[in-house]
Chain A
Amino acid sequence: MKANAMSNFEIVTREDFSDVTYLLEVRHPLMSKAAKPGQFVIVMLNEHGERIPLTIADFDIKKGTITLVIQAVGKTTRQMQQECRVGTSLYGMVGPMGIPSPTSHAKKVVCVGGGLGVAPIFPQARGFKQAGAYVIAVLGFRNKDLVFWEDKFKDCCDELILCTNDGSAGMKGMITDGIRVAMEGHSDIDEVVAIGPPVMMKACADATRAAKIKTMVSVNPIMVDGTGMCGGCRVKVGDQVKFACVDGPDFDGHLVDFDDLMLRLSRYTKVEKDAHERWSDSCRMTKQVGASALHELKRGAQKELLELPDPFEEAPGG
């Protein structure tokens, strides 16, 4: 069945931040009430689709919606970029999943978002602020064209440190440079929360290790069910194995084995690349000759190697 009585997963807003990053607001009143910072959903685009996890970037109880910010890096996210317009619907969306991030304890917090990680760190920053903490946001993008939600953070945080690799907006530097600025300005930071590509979260954890500041990260392994029954999302945290979907997705960044996480994230790289190529081929072909002649052409079509944004880059931005 496509929809259930509670939501038909209709998309009510669509915003494009760049040609790779886009925002979808999905109507689900019950989920907008239940969602807490740090949680995620699993989405299926259509009946043939795969299940992909996406962090909840915002939730609006008044409007009854939850917001997803997505980077088009593979077949499904590219297809969603093409097909998910206002008024269309997803095939399925389940959540909110994962243990909510605890936001009530820290007095001074640095919320770090790298590239796409800026979106999921937003509800955490807002949550900490609402709980009474002093919030310093550190956001990193490749350049000023990729910056998004700067105002949203300015409205809800006490300080905002914006970094771009090329210095075109904010300070010139990597995310870790921004963290250093925050640490130099404040000696009483209770906690750092960092979300972004694994290589970035690893760097953030390394930057705070010597100062012994508790650093929470939100890991992003491959998932299938998201309810703790397949073990595909298992990560090594210290000497234990945890499932990111039900034991996380937040873990202590100083204990997470990022190398293992990145290794396991790469286990379908070839398959993903092939699927992406096939998808891009079929899009191009459809535009040129129409879907009916597509089949014949596919067989003789030359496959071009497409340049995909590297999801492991430190500050992909989009």
Chain B
Amino acid sequence: MAKKKTIRSIPQERTPMREQDPQVRAKNFEEVACGYSLDDALRESERCLMCPDQPCVSGCPVGINIPGFIQKLGEKNLRGAYDILTDTNLLPSICGRVCPQENQCEGVCTVGDSLEAVAIGRLERFVGDTAIKEGWVNIPYIEPNRFRVGIVGSGPAGMACAADMAKAGCDVTVYEAFHQAGGVLKYGIPDFRLPNEVIDAEINNLKKFGVKFECNTLVGRLFTIEQMLDEMGFHAVFVGVGAGYPTMLNIPGDSLNGVLSANEMLTRCNLMRGRDFPNFDTPQPIGRRVAVVGAGNTAMDATRVSLRLGSEKVYCVYRRSRTEAPARAEEVHHAEQEGVEFHWLTAPVAVLDDGKGNVRGMRCVRMELGEPDDSGRRRPVPVAGSEFDFEADLIIYAIGTNANPIMGQTSKLKLNKWGYIGADENLATSVAGVFAGGDIVTGAATVIEAMGAGRKAARSMKAYLGIRDSALAYSGDGAGTLFGIDMHERNFARVRIA
């Protein structure tokens, strides 16, 4: 029998993960983090104490059985680890790369109380990547039912919902406005964080489940949500269209040539491959000196893409301090290593014109932190008389997004006062049979939260359609009922269990 693990008996140091050298990787779009080898993964899996509390499981927005998959991994049963992961999360290679683990599973890890937390994200990525390499895909026998489900948006929320509904036996179609599926994973997150091949591999897995992807389809305009339910034969619809309408600063010089939103810059580079212009036709504006306003994950992506596009100087301008910056810690760290210059507590005041309508620089003012605002973060206030100018020829705004207006314009869905789709705690909207989740409900958030919302909506949709869910505990079960059906009612043989 194995000796019981204690905090002193496990490897004390977190297994490092090989990364590309910062000076080298700042010039290429290959993945920064190279992933664990099998030995690395085995060693790191040793560090999990298999503690009884399992705070990591509740720390995960989708409740992955983390100790379970780590145990299988430790036994060198990689397929078994993949099986456990995909029970709750069909997209491990994506989550392992982009989840803010430090705020989720790793943030509450028991080992993290005294040492560095177990590198759960890296282990998840290792298992997911192995599955892709080996071509594993878990397709249990699924009894098809008669329900057709439509998913609007092929981003993380839509993909997660599609996965669950397909597993439940529904006929699932995912509609995407772009010419490629993947949503923000494709257009927003650059290849060096999340390669397009990984996204396409996960999409292919979904297709093996029978999920259909229809691109070049703008739901709301080509046909409405109401038409989907009334005319096109869908029984339930999930709306996961994201919140992509970019916020502009509304300072003088906003519309000069050389000012763009991070969304535009990243879409040109990542989705339209503007970085390979002219082999790809979409042009990519490249600045000698680039200033990115904002310090979220999108801002980090924009700064690091600018370095790789060949800019000499890349500045990150943020009106609060580093501790308030919303970006994932690893991204800020990587950006610093690669040579991005951070200007904390600095706010833009105007974009400066070169006289011909192009950007020549920016005027900023220094800030200091005052009282906390509604979000709990200390509000920045300008320091009088501290204005200064600096030279730049490309300004990128990465200061947040608002709700995309198309759903509101084209359907009867009730919106809240900021324009996001109103949804109750089961993610049901004001239109029967229509559910919504992700950024279009909550405002801009993370990929894993969107996936969590997609899964939650799937549970609600299954309940709405009357599909019994084997994962749920039905109230009253045990005393003559099974999955909420009275056992005396002998119809239960004809009920679909998913």
Contact = CB atoms under 8 A, between A and B. Distances in A.
Interface of A: 1, 4-7, 9, 30-31, 34, 39, 44, 48-51, 75-76, 91-97, 99, 224-225, 227-232, 234, 236, 241, 243, 246-247, 260, 263-264, 266-268, 271-272, 274-275, 278
B216 A236 contact: no
Contact of B179 (A44, A228, A264): A44
Nearest to B402: A228
B213 to A, nearest CB: 7
Given A93-B216, A264-B255, A275-B281, A246 B406 contact: yes
A266 B283 CA distance: 13
A153 B242 CA distance: 42
A229 B254 contact: no
A236 B245 contact: no
Contact of B283 (A49, A241, A246, A268): A268
Summarize A's interface: helix, strand, loop or mixed. Answer: mixed
B192 interface: no
A272 B282 CA distance: 10
Contact of A243 (B212, B213, B218, B245): B245
Contacts of A234: 248, 255
B278 interface: yes
Contacts of B264: 224, 230-232
B292 interface: no
B413 to A, nearest CB: 16
B338 to A, nearest CB: 25
Which among B214, B215, B242, B264 has the greatest number of chain A C-beta atoms within 10 A? B264
8 contacts: A95-B221, A229-B245, A229-B246, A230-B263, A231-B260, A241-B255, A267-B285, A275-B278
B323 interface: no
B-side binding surface: helix, strand, loop or mixed? loop
Contact of A263 (B214, B246, B357): B357
Contact of B261 (A4, A51, A231): A231
A64 to B, nearest CB: 14
A229 B223 contact: no
Contacts of B446: none
B455 interface: no
Contact of A227 (B218, B277, B283): B218
B222 A30 contact: yes
Contacts of A246: 245, 404-406, 409
Given A5-B214, A94-B216, A230 B222 contact: no
A230 B270 CA distance: 13
Contacts of A268: 283, 285
Contacts, number: 136
Given A1-B213, A225-B267, A76 B404 contact: no
B406 A227 contact: yes
A5 B212 CA distance: 10
B82 to A, nearest CB: 27
Highest count of chain B CB atoms <10 Å: which of A94, A247, A272: A94
Contacts of A275: 278, 281, 283
Given A51-B272, A228-B404, A230-B246, 5 more contacts: A4-B216, A93-B216, A227-B406, A229-B242, A231-B260
A219 to B, nearest CB: 13
Contacts of B212: 5
B400 to A, nearest CB: 12
Q: Which of A34, A228, A243 has the most CB of B within 10 A?
A: A228
Interface in B159-198: 177-179, 187
Residue in B278, B279, B409 whose Cβ sees the most chain A Cβ within 10 Å: B278
A226 to B, nearest CB: 8
A283 B242 CA distance: 42
Contacts of B187: 225
Given A97-B218, A99-B409, A51 B283 contact: no
Nearest to A270: B283
Contacts of B263: 229-231
Given A268-B283, A275-B281, A34 B223 contact: yes
A231 B248 contact: yes
Contact of B272 (A50, A91, A94): A50
A1 B216 CA distance: 10
A23 B278 CA distance: 27
A96 B179 contact: no
Contacts of A225: 177-178, 187, 267
Interface string B211-230: 01111111001110000000
A9 B179 CA distance: 12
A30 to B, nearest CB: 6
A20 B402 CA distance: 40
A260 B353 CA distance: 13
Contacts of B491: none
B358 to A, nearest CB: 8
Nearest to B175: A4
Contacts of B178: 94, 225
Which of A50, A227, A232, A267 counts the most B-chain CB atoms under 10 A from its CB? A227
B245 A228 contact: yes
Nearest to B410: A99
Contacts of B214: 4-6
